[in-house]
Amino acid sequence: MDLLDALPALRQEPLLADRTIALVGVSAILHDDNAYYFEVGKPSYWARRADGTLSVGIGGIGGRPEPGEGVLDCLHREVREELGVRVRIKTPPHTTLVRDWEIVARWKMAPDPSSPTPYFISLFPPRLGGPNTPDHVAIVTLLGRPRGTPRRGDLFGLLRVTRAALGPFFDRPEWTVAEARAHPGLALDLAEVLPEEAVLRPVLTARAFGVLLREGR
């Protein structure tokens, strides 16, 4: 799916216009009055470091659009499957463009009742070459509020971060499982036990969100 076909209002932005950008993921930063909610990545995405330490990614709630599925349909399906709740999409004050883990642009989008306003868009270089390779691949991240209490659905794990712990959590590049369990503002719900020495690190949507948090301070 092409990003500008999925969200035509983005064609007005000079940094995105006249480029081929493949939309490979739709995610959300979800929060309620008390906490923010993040995915603990599945085992197929874990990595083992040279010293044997297990590295586990922490990401946003969401996934890859299915064929013919729009941005909102994808997100509503993923939130329902992953957290067992519905979600109310919020309109952020502006949209931020993140490329190579740096903020490169920020703009205010005109409201469009037929299309959601992204909270931020993350751009990455394509992994493969060839004549049909896009200029970039993108993950669109929306801002939302769960309708109900999130629970771990088809996720390997769910991380709950209180508002007070949000800054401290993202100020560090990684946490061990033992440190996360000991912190009063972090709560892990896992399908299986992880080694206490395994590290949790923000990736993709969560890493980009951390960039926004630090820039905002």
CA pseudo-torsion sign 81, 189, 25, 165: positive
Token output for 58: 């922490």
Contact 95, 88 (CB under 8 A): no
pLDDT digits (tens, 9 = 90+) for 72-110: 999 999 999 999 999 999 999 999 999 999 999 999 988
pLDDT digits (tens, 9 = 90+) for 148-204: 999 999 999 999 999 999 999 999 999 999 999 999 999 999 999 999 999 999 999
Does the pLDDT value for residue 60 go beyond 80?
Answer: yes
Q: What is the pLDDT of residue 130?
A: 67
Q: What is the pLDDT of residue 12?
A: 87
CA distances from 205 to 89, 99, 184 (A): 17, 12, 24
Q: What is the pLDDT of residue 129?
A: 66
Contact 180, 61 (CB under 8 A): no
Q: Give the confidence band of 43 by pLDDT, cuts at 50, 70, 90.
A: very high
The gap from C-alpha 119 to its chain's centroid, in whole angstroms, comes to 10
Q: What is the pLDDT of residue 217?
A: 63
**Kindly report the CA angle at 13 between 12 and 17, in degrees rounded to 5?**
80
Give the single-character DSSP code of 13.
S
The full set of domain ranges for the chain reads: 3-216
pTM: 0.95
Domain spanning 3-216: CATH 3.90.79.10: yes
